[in-house]
A and B are shown apart, each in its own frame.
Chain A
Amino acid sequence: MSGAPRVLIVEDEAFVAMELRARLEDLGYEVDGVLAHGEAALAIEPSELPDLVLMDVNLVGEMDGIETARRLREAGDLAVVFLTAYSDAGLVRRAMEVDAHGFLTKPFREKELEVTLRLALKRRELETALAQANQGLEQRVRERTESLRQARNEAERANAAKSDFLSRASHELRTPLNVILGFAQLLELPGDLHLSEAHRDHVREIHRAGQHLLRMVDDILGLARLDTGKLDVRSAPLSLLPVVQECAAEIGPAAARRDVTVILPQGGPSSVFADAAHFKQVLLNLLSNAVKFNREGGVIRIECTSMADRRVRISVTDSGRGLSSEEQVRLFRPFERLESAYEGVEGMGIGLFQAKKLVEGMGGTIGVESEPGVGSTFWFELPETTGTDGRTVLLIGGNPAKQRLMERILASRGGLEFLHAESVEAGMKLVVTGRPDLILVHLDLPDSYGSGGSRHLRRSEGTRDIPVIAITAEATTRTKRQARDAGFRDVLAEPLAPRAVLDVINRHLTPYPSPDGE
């Protein structure tokens, strides 16, 4: 604040105003002027507003002092001190609401005037400083957020570029591989090519190395896919025995070559909540390792066990040479190969890393227990699916026919409990008692709930982390985008197709760890 503080007097009694002016000038204030009406004060340009206005509460005219002060404070940043008389008790109560910087009750002493004005100006000064500090803080938060966002984008771009490169490279490698394998295959064909036995043997080596290279190329491609976060998990109840048998049959020939016996699970849980393709890939990987690292004539035992916390453990035990604790730590890292373990065994050390990613993608865990000299047990645990697998879907809105349809669709999947609420408010109560794992909400609710209500769902503690899916008859690309922007995980178009509904439910019911916790 430079120079003397500027004060405006709004007072309709000329004598009082004159008196005030004189006293203020004595105190060193610069008096901008004396006005008799609120309207005149409001006519002042915002840039011309004083530091303080001394306002008579009880003005004659259209607008009293309180209303004038309220409007002035909206227009600019200035201190307001009201002048009141004892007879103005009702007005004083209203004046409090304007959050004035001071009150002077007429008649007042000179000292009162001085102190009140000084305090009022001091308060205004602090308010201004606080507002500026806040603004600076907000600005810094904005800048910090922006730089974090940029850093994240940068990292994502770099990672995408890396995966893209890996993917391209593995495609490009296929052409020369094709040449190597193709000509080797040509040489291996029986025919009128007079190759000596030694030459044939050499060709076989070329062919074998080419095949090895191809598997590595496929592994790199698989890794690039995992890395881009493109892992598509569609978990659903999966019957254990058939898929275990299928995997065992697939590994059968390799096991037979090494005279390894595969023992299938006896009893145990009958199903698991998993993505069938990923489950198979994981189990096949563990089985193929168990064959590769087993001793000739060894045994592989597959077991399925119910664990605590409604989880199912699938374990593969081999009779290989076992792993030391240091080796166990390194196992699940990419490209880590245990030198001592794999003499003569091909691979790049990606399989277990990939298995870990897949299991985690399905909301499970993977691990190993091993005793050197006796064998190793590799296991993975996934959610179980007995009866209702503890998963509950809450539908909000929709007429009785729509509720019945949804109930039937969910029943066809099995393993789900169905809850229904007419409104978002009722739904919020059910969220507390029913603890749903997923919420479906009709956007076309007759009242204002729809998207506003879902915003409520997403902001409230306890429901924030539950995926909310929108259902709408108006599923245009635009509404879908808007819904996603509004925080819905997905949008279902009416009329509902059961398969689409189950796809979406399975996708979002899976505990799916995401890097930024969205």
Chain B
Amino acid sequence: MTQGREAGLLDAASAPPPATMKSDFDPMATPPKHTVLIAEDNAQLRRLFTTVLTAAGYVVVAVSHGGEVLPSIQEHQPDTLLLDLGLPGIDGFTILQEVRSGVGSSLHVVLTTGRLLEDHDPALQMADGYLLKPIGLKDLVESVRPSPQ
């Protein structure tokens, strides 16, 4: 787990880091530090996402296996789950169902997939967003920020 703000690194590509979100309409709804749980089995992608999101000011936890996702949610209480639909072990869709029916029902979930999803895909309807690989860094940073409620 890494955290920190490498000033300037993502200026051109990223959304404002959480610090600036205090100026949002309802600042109390967004805690100063967002935690993102990355569930991605490809180690290089995990590293890329971790690097980028850390640089953007997020606290990042990363797991690689489907079975690790739910325990990790329990442990770290993330604000956002970046979930690969094609995880080994428990697949992404099952995890999504578990999350939505359980404690993490308000968790901001962004799906990542190599497959173009149809609008009516059930996974898409349970998620808050989805990113088609390859994922642009700007899209990545913007999508993991939970919308203030």
Binding site for B on A (CB under 8 A): 171-183, 185-186, 189-193, 210, 214
Shortest Cβ distance from A182 into chain B, in angstroms?
4
What is the predominant secondary structure among interface residues of chain B facing chain A? loop
By beta carbon, the residue of chain A nearest B131 is A178
**Is A174 within 8 A of B9, CB to CB?**
no
List B contacts of A180 (CB < 8 A).
Answer: 134
The 4 closest A-B pairs by CB, nearest first: A178-B134, A171-B114, A174-B114, A174-B133
List A contacts of B114 (CB < 8 A).
Answer: 171-175
Shortest Cβ distance from B46 into chain A, in angstroms?
10
By beta carbon, the residue of chain B nearest A214 is B134
List B contacts of A176 (CB < 8 A).
Answer: 42, 44
Partner of B45, one of A173, A178, A189, A214: A178
The CA of A458 and the CA of B38, in the complex, are separated in Å by 58
Besides A182-B134, A183-B48, A189-B11, 4 other A-B contacts (C-beta < 8 A): A173-B114, A179-B44, A189-B12, A191-B9
List B contacts of A192 (CB < 8 A).
Answer: 6, 8-9
- Decide yes or no whether B51 CB sits under 8 A from chain A: yes
List B contacts of A179 (CB < 8 A).
Answer: 42, 44-45, 48
The CA of A181 and the CA of B136, in the complex, are separated in Å by 8
- The proximity string for B residues 63-75 relative to A, scoring 1 for CB distances below 8 Å and 0 otherwise, is 0000000000000
**Is A175 within 8 A of B45, CB to CB?**
yes
List A contacts of B42 (CB < 8 A).
Answer: 175-176, 179
The CA of A193 and the CA of B48, in the complex, are separated in Å by 16
Partner of A181, one of B6, B8, B9, B134: B134
List A contacts of B11 (CB < 8 A).
Answer: 189-191
- Decide yes or no whether B90 CB sits under 8 A from chain A: no
By beta carbon, the residue of chain A nearest B137 is A185
Query: In the complex, how many residue pairs between chain A and chain B have their CB atoms under 8 Å apart?
Result: 61
Shortest Cβ distance from B124 into chain A, in angstroms?
16
List A contacts of B12 (CB < 8 A).
Answer: 189-190
The CA of A179 and the CA of B137, in the complex, are separated in Å by 11
The CA of A214 and the CA of B134, in the complex, are separated in Å by 8
The CA of A180 and the CA of B52, in the complex, are separated in Å by 14
**Is A186 within 8 A of B136, CB to CB?**
no
- The proximity string for B residues 42-86 relative to A, scoring 1 for CB distances below 8 Å and 0 otherwise, is 101100100110000000000000000000000000000000000
Whether A182 contacts B137 in the complex (CB less than 8 A), given A171-B114, A174-B114, comes out as yes
The CA of A173 and the CA of B45, in the complex, are separated in Å by 13
List A contacts of B137 (CB < 8 A).
Answer: 182, 185-186, 189
Q: Which of B42, B114, B135 has the most CB of A within 10 A?
A: B114
- Decide yes or no whether B28 CB sits under 8 A from chain A: no
List A contacts of B135 (CB < 8 A).
Answer: 178, 182
**Is B48 within 8 A of A177, CB to CB?**
no
The CA of A176 and the CA of B133, in the complex, are separated in Å by 9
**Is B9 within 8 A of A182, CB to CB?**
no
**Is B51 within 8 A of A186, CB to CB?**
yes
Whether A189 contacts B134 in the complex (CB less than 8 A), given A171-B115, A175-B114, A179-B45, comes out as no
- Decide yes or no whether B103 CB sits under 8 A from chain A: no
**Is A186 within 8 A of B48, CB to CB?**
yes
- Decide yes or no whether B29 CB sits under 8 A from chain A: no
The CA of A50 and the CA of B114, in the complex, are separated in Å by 77
**Is B52 within 8 A of A182, CB to CB?**
yes
The CA of A481 and the CA of B116, in the complex, are separated in Å by 30
Report 27 cross-chain contacts, Cβ distance below 8 Å, ordered by A residue: A171-B114, A171-B115, A172-B114, A174-B134, A175-B42, A175-B45, A175-B114, A175-B133, A176-B44, A177-B134, A178-B48, A178-B133, A179-B44, A179-B45, A181-B134, A182-B135, A182-B137, A183-B48, A185-B136, A186-B52, A189-B9, A189-B10, A189-B11, A189-B137, A190-B8, A191-B6, A192-B6
